[in-house]
Amino acid sequence: MKVLVLGSGGREHALAWKIGQSSLLSKLYIAPGNAGTLEHGENVAIDPENFQQVAEFAIEKNIEIIVVGPEGPLVKGIHNYFSSNPELSSITIIGPKKEGAILEGSKDFSKKFMAANNIPTAKYKSFDVDSIADGEAYLETMTPPYVLKADGLAAGKGVLIVDSLKKAKKELRSMLANKKFGSASKKVVVEEFLDGIEVSVFIITDGNSYKILPEAKDYKRIGEGDTGLNTGGMGAISPVPFANREFMDKVENQIIIPTIKGLRKENIEYSGFIFFGLILVKGDPYVIEYNCRLGDPETEVILPRLKSDLLDLFDGIASDTLSERDVEIDPKSAGTVMLVSGGYPEDYKKGEAITIGNIHERSIVFHAGTKKENEKVITNGGRVISVTSYGKDIESSIKNSYSTIENIHFNKMNFRRDIGKDVIKK
Ligand code: AMP
Ligand code: GLY
C-alpha cells in the first residue's frame, strides 16, 4: 500500500515508524515531516491544510491511504474534500469528516452531544456576546475554581481555570466581547470544575466497530510538579496504573459505546481515531474533551505498545472490516520525555544544532520540531525530540529515557525530570 502521513510532530514520526514496520507497505510519504520521519519514508514539502496540493500529490503518486495526524485539516474538512471528488473518493482518509471532527472543533457541540447521549461530563452552560449577563449570573451559582472554555480551536490555549469569581467574570467578558481567542471564543462554555486524575483513552473506529488502543497519561505543564504554563505535552506514560480492568469497563460502557451509538444516531459517519480526554472522579470516568486524532506525545507511548500491524487496522477501515482485525497490546511499559527549546511554550529560538550520541537499547528517539539542513539536524520548533523507552514498569522505562537524554544535546535544551513520578509506587 502507498501511504501518506500528514503532519510534522513527534506523533507523525511515531506513525511513520510504526507504519514503516508493516509488510503491507510499499511506499511511505510524510508531508511535511521532520528529520526523523526521513528514516522511514520520503518527506514532501506540502502544507497539510492545502487540500488541493495534497490531492494533486495523492493522484500523482497513487496514494491509497492518507493518515491525518493533526486536527486542523480534519476540522477544516479534508475528508469531505476527498470524498466529494470522484477522482479522490477511492482514497481512504484516516480521520473523520468535518461533521465528526466537530467533536473536537466545537466544545459547545461536544457538550450538547454528551448531554443528548447521557455521557458523563461536567455540568455546563454556553454563552455568546448577547448573553454575557446570563453567563455572569451562572458563574455566581458555581463554586471556585471556574472553568471557561473557548468553543473553537485555540491552539490548546482556550481553556481557562480561574480561582476568583471577579476574574472569571472579567475573562468571560474578554473572551466574548473582546474576542480574546478570536472567532474561537465567539461562544464560551462555562462548566463545573472536576477534581480528579486525568487519563487519555484512544480508539480506532470505522463508525460501527471499534478497537481500544493502549491508554496514556500526559504531562501538560512546563514545570516539574505540574507547575507553570500549559504546553502541548512534556511527556507521557502508558499503561496508566489506575486505568485497571474495572475502570476501563466503565469507560467502555459509559463513554465509548454511547459515543459510537450517538454518532450513528446523529448520522455522523466517523472513521479514524477518537481520543477521549477523561478524568477519574471518585471512581467514575467523566469526559473532559474529545479529540478527533491521536495525542502528542501520547502517540509516542501508545504505538510502541501496539503489537498489531497499524496498516492492517487502516486497511480494516478502508474495507469496512475493522471488526475482523486484531489489536494486540504489549504488556511492557513505555514512557516518553519531551526535550523542548529553552523559552517554550513562550518565545524560543529555532535553528540550534542537535547532537544525538548513544541511545539506550530500549529507547526510541522520536523527532518533533527538527529538520535536516546541509546534512545537519537542527531544532525547528518548541517541542524538539520525544525520547521513548520500554521498561518492565513505568519507573524503568522513564529511567531508560533519562539515560538516553544524557547523550542528546542542543543549546538551551529543557525537559522535565519528573515524568511518571506521580504514578510510581513509593
Ligand atoms: P481541554 O483543552 O478541554 O483538554 O482542557 C485543558 C485542560 O484543562 C484539561 O486537560 C484539564 O486539565 C483542564 N480541564 C478542562 N476542563 C476541566 C474541568 N471541567 N475540570 C477540571 N479541569 C478541567
Ligand atoms: N497531548 C495532548 C494532545 O495531543 O491534545
Mean of pLDDT values over 206-219 = 96
- Give the pLDDT of residue 158: 87
Q: Ligand nearest 292 Cα, by number?
A: 2
Residue with grid cell 478570536, as numbered in its chain? 182
pLDDT on residue 181 = 86
Q: Which residue out of 298, 303, 419 has the highest number of ligand 2 atoms within 8 Å of its CB and is therefore the one to mutate?
A: 298
The finding on whether 258 has its CB within 6 A of some atom of ligand 2 is no
Cβ distance 309 to 23 under 8 Å?
Answer: yes
pTM, two decimal places? 0.96
Q: Grade residue 153 by pLDDT with cuts at 50, 70 and 90.
A: confident
* Cβ of 233 below 6 Å from ligand 2: yes
Kindly indicate the confidence band of residue 180, based on its pLDDT and cuts at 50, 70 and 90.
Answer: confident
Residues 6+ apart with CB under 8 A from 112: none
The ligand placed nearest to the CA atom of residue 368 is 2
Nearest-atom index, ligand 1, CA of 192 = 19
Per-residue model confidence as pLDDT tens digits over 86-126 = 999 999 999 999 999 999 999 999 999 999 999 999 999 99
Tracing cell 502507498 back to the chain, one arrives at 2
Q: What is the mean pLDDT of residues 298-312?
A: 98
Ligand nearest, relative to CA of residue 107: 1
Low-confidence winner among 160-164, 275-279, 350-354 (lowest mean pLDDT): 160-164
Decide if domain 2-96 falls under CATH 3.40.50.20: yes
Domain range list for the chain: 2-96, 123-191
Rounded to whole angstroms, the Cα distance separating 284 from 192 reads 16
Percent of the chain with pLDDT over 90: 92
Cα-based distances in Å from 169 to 15, 143, 146, 152, 178:
42, 13, 10, 20, 13
CA pair distance 194, 124, nearest whole angstrom? 12
| Secondary-structure class of domain 123-191 per CATH | alpha beta
Query: Grid cell 529507547 — which residue?
Result: 363
The contacts of residue 133 (CB under 8 Å, 6+ apart) are: none
For the stretch 318-344, pLDDT in tens is 999 999 999 999 999 999 999 999 999
Asked which of 80-84, 148-152, 215-219, 237-241 is least confident by mean pLDDT, the reply is 148-152
Q: Rounded mean pLDDT of the chain?
A: 95
- In ligand 2, which atom is closest to the CA atom of 298? 1
pLDDT band at 186 (very low <50, low <70, confident <90, very high): confident
Q: Give the DSSP H/E element, type plus range, for residue 242.
A: none
Mutate to test the pocket of ligand 2, among 218, 299, 340, 419 (most ligand atoms within 8 A of CB): 218
Q: What is the pLDDT of residue 178?
A: 82
Q: What is the mean pLDDT of residues 185-199?
A: 93
Give yes or no for residue 300 CB within 6 A of ligand 2. no
- Cα–Cα–Cα angle for 365, 368, 370, nearest 5°? 95
Q: Hey, is 213 helix, strand or coil?
A: coil
Q: How far is CA 6 from CA 37, 65, 156, in A?
A: 11, 11, 19
Output the residue whose Cα is nearest ligand 1's atom 14. Answer: 288
Q: φ, ψ for residue 303 (rounded to 5)?
A: -65, -40
pLDDT in tens, 32-46: 999 999 999 999 999
| CA of 288 relative to ligand 1 center, distance in Å | 6
| Probe target for ligand 1 pocket from 104, 193, 289, with the most ligand atoms within 8 Å of CB | 289
50, three cell numbers: 492545502
Whether the per-residue pLDDT at 156 is higher than 90: the answer is no
Distance 395 CA to ligand 1 centre (A): 26
Q: Which of 304, 299, 296, 376 is nearest to 340 (CA)?
A: 296
Mean pLDDT of 128-147: 93
DSSP state of 282: T
Please give the average per-residue pLDDT across 138-155, as a whole number. Answer: 92
Give the model's pLDDT for residue 426.
Answer: 59
Ligand 1 cavity residues, CB under 6 Å: 122, 147, 159, 191, 193-194, 198, 277, 288-289
Strands (E) across 143-186 are located at 146-150, 159-162
